[in-house]
Structure 1
Amino acid sequence: MDEHPAVPILDISEYHDPATKDRFVEALRNACHHVGFLYLTGHGVDHRLNTAVTDVSRDFFAKPASVKREIAMVNSPHFRGYTPVGGEMTGGRADVREEIDLGPERPASHDTDRPWRRLQGPNQWPTSVPDFEPIMTRWAQDMDRLGRTLLDALAEGLEIDSDHFRNWVTPDPEATIKAIRYPAPVEGQKPQGVGTHRDFGLLTFVLQDAVGGLQVERADGDYIDVPHLPGSFVVNLGEMLQVATHGYYKATVHRVVSPPVGVERFSTIYFFNPRLDATLNPVDLPEHLATGARGGASDDPNNPILDTYGDNILKVRLRAHPDVAELHHADLLHTTTR
């Protein structure tokens, strides 16, 4: 296991080699227990595909505002589509970025008994960039494979049956993609790229450019940079995995600072999340690991981590996108706590 500014670098191709598999599993367990962030290389996702993902994102964000607003998220009760700069909130403050959110293509649900079913529905694809849909769809398929492999390795690291985690994403995870542009600040501005937060699902894969800005909180409260490492994804764990492992696996606080003056930044994120109806039954850790479990519950009384993924993600979405919440889900606003 190599080191890169306190964030481990792991080569997942070692997991597929019987001679190195155990070493990889142990290194992964240690990284997810102590740091909660890592660089993943040897992942098998074609570099040309990753480049195409970034290229179509750049093409979309270069379009006039009027074109981008054609697929505005506020039109979608499923929280899909384009959000302009300042349209998403983290920690009660507006993030200075624009983005497009994508999810599994499904028919819209009108289940009133389980409000999180409202998250199911179709995407809004940008017809102004014809290659956007096929490239993002192909990328999602490759990232799904990678997410399932890494989830199996995480289960092995805890010495539990891999089905314990697989059941949360079978048959289909609620995986989402977020393509992001951070605009170039002007002199004197110190905007919030993305405020401090933990991710809320299982696994997050970040494809970032060379500009930098992602920062991770250390145990002492200071932040360290997670710079671009060519050929890698940055991977971090979400709250649901922390809860299910009693805090043995760590969902680490992180943020994104805006790029330098005159420079814009692009990233594309793949969130490998459980099914909406999945209730994450806690893991029975072996005794020698259980002694290192910190407890997975949230330390913020205003931000409880809910057991069912649909409840957890709906809570997050309602707070992050108040315009969508007010227009489409006003009846739910009094029930959310995040």
Structure 2
Amino acid sequence: MQNIPSVDLADFLSEDPKKKKKFIDEIGKAYEEIGFVALKNHFLSDDLEEKLYTEVEKFFQLPVETKKSYERPELGGQRGYVSFGKEHAKGKKEGDLKEFWHFGQEPSNDAELTETYPENVVVKELPDFNETGMEAYRMLEKTGIYVLRALALHIGLQENYFDHWASNGNSILRPIHYPPITSEPENAVRAGAHGDINLITLLMGASAPGLQVQRRDGQWLDAIAQKDELVINVGDMLQRHTNNKLRSTIHRVVNPPRELWHTHRYSIPFFLHPRSDMKLDCLDECVDDNHPKEYEDITAGEFLHQRLVEIGLIKK
């Protein structure tokens, strides 16, 4: 059973105005109500996804000292390896039961950025790791931009409103490894309840269940998608920019039942961030007498810095 709405990107890409409007209405309604959808007919092929998972598993199976040689704490964990338990959910002190890797943007020559992104860290032991990761990065970024085009139209903006900000944006592809649980966790879970920082998050199928989303009434639902679908959710930046019209839903990754503690779980989200100079001020289209402005003006870069401090990846 599927607990989140399913939408088909082929409808939006079709030449049929009715199908395009159907997609816009469906994804808009889903993001106003629950903040999550399952998306089919995206740009990430099954072969590329399978190849990426193979490379990711190879990396996390490397010796701990080898993985730690790729850790770059001076970058606030924004590139390379982040070791087990370093990150925690906002408001929690217990570290999440995970280790992860970050691939970041490699901007085009004509990007005209106001910032300089850190270079990606190259894993010498795995010759296909970085190339495969960045190939998947591009396909997920492309998919995300089309989703944002649909949302722009839903809000009442020009279709290409987000294109400049999302293209060459500060996006992150994060392969995550949740190792087997070896002892009773002290209030720790694989990923504590949180909202994502960015505009939208695109998640390919995880190697095991565990993702749950929280409904408005507080009930937790398993986020289940079909094998050929991406799970895509609204992040806090987009909720803020739309003055709460689109919902950044709290979600978590729960620990498996005790009989499955010995299992590994792999997950690969793509966090679509805009360029850091994008203003996240509440859009005029989302403010009226019934929906007064809820947030102070801030840029994406300022907001990201605040949140990285809150989740323990960088110091103040």
TM-score, normalisation: structure 1: 0.82
**Match for 1:46: what amino acid?**
S
RMSD, aligned α-carbons: 2.4
Residue pairs, 1:108-123, within 5 angstroms: 120-123=117-120
Conserved in 1, the CA contact under 8 Å of 2:165 and 2:275? yes
CA distance in 1, matches of 2:240, 2:60: 36
Tell me, yes or no, if structure 1 residue 183 matches structure 2 residue 184: no
Conserved in 1, the CA contact under 8 Å of 2:34 and 2:247? yes
Shift of residue 71, structure 1, vs aligned partner: 0.2
Please name the residue that 1:101 is paired with.
102
Q: Mind listing any 5+ residue stretches in structure 2 that lack a counterpart?
A: 108-113
Please name the residue that 1:126 is paired with.
123
Shift of residue 269, structure 1, vs aligned partner: 0.9
Change (3 A) 1:286 1:90: closer
Which range is displaced more, 120-129 or 196-205? 120-129
CA distance in 2, matches of 1:293, 1:239: 17
Change (3 A) 1:41 1:291: farther
SS of the residue corresponding to residue 168 of structure 1 reads helix
Tell me, yes or no, if structure 1 residue 148 matches structure 2 residue 139: no
**Match for 1:231: what amino acid?**
D
CA distance in 1, matches of 2:269, 2:49: 11
Please name the residue that 2:110 is paired with.
none
Change (3 A) 1:61 1:294: farther
Off by >6 Å, runs of 4+ in structure 1? none
Please name the residue that 1:275 is paired with.
275
SS of the residue corresponding to residue 89 of structure 1 reads coil
Offset from partner CA, 1:57-84 (integer Å, 9 cap, x none): 1010011101111101325456311112
CA distance in 1, matches of 2:74, 2:286: 48
TM-score, normalisation: structure 2: 0.87
Offset from partner CA, 1:243-273 (integer Å, 9 cap, x none): 1111111111111112332111101111111
Conserved in 2, the CA contact under 8 Å of 1:248 and 1:294? no
Residue pairs, 1:60-79, within 5 angstroms: 60-74=59-73, 76=75, 79=78
Shift of residue 293, structure 1, vs aligned partner: 5.3
Change (3 A) 1:296 1:205: farther
Please name the residue that 2:111 is paired with.
none
- Picking from 137, 157, 160, the partner of 2:157 is 160
Change (3 A) 1:159 1:306: closer
Please name the residue that 1:300 is paired with.
none
Conserved in 1, the CA contact under 8 Å of 2:191 and 2:253? yes
**Higher RCO (Cα < 8 Å, 6 or more apart):** 2
Residue pairs, 1:1-338, within 5 angstroms: 4-5=2-3, 7-19=4-16, 20-74=19-73, 76=75, 79-91=78-90, 92=92, 93-105=94-106, 120-170=117-167, 172-186=168-182, 188-189=184-185, 191-259=188-256, 260-285=260-285, 297=295, 307-322=298-313, 325-326=314-315, 333=316
**Match for 1:192: what amino acid?**
V
Change (3 A) 1:228 1:125: farther
CA distance in 1, matches of 2:290, 2:247: 11
Change (3 A) 1:320 1:81: farther
Shift of residue 139, structure 1, vs aligned partner: 1.0
Which range is displaced more, 238-247 or 158-167? 158-167
Conserved in 1, the CA contact under 8 Å of 2:198 and 2:236? yes
**Match for 2:103: what amino acid?**
L
**Match for 1:313: what amino acid?**
L
SS of the residue corresponding to residue 99 of structure 1 reads strand
Which range is displaced more, 78-87 or 34-43? 78-87
**Match for 1:276: what amino acid?**
S
Shift of residue 9, structure 1, vs aligned partner: 0.7
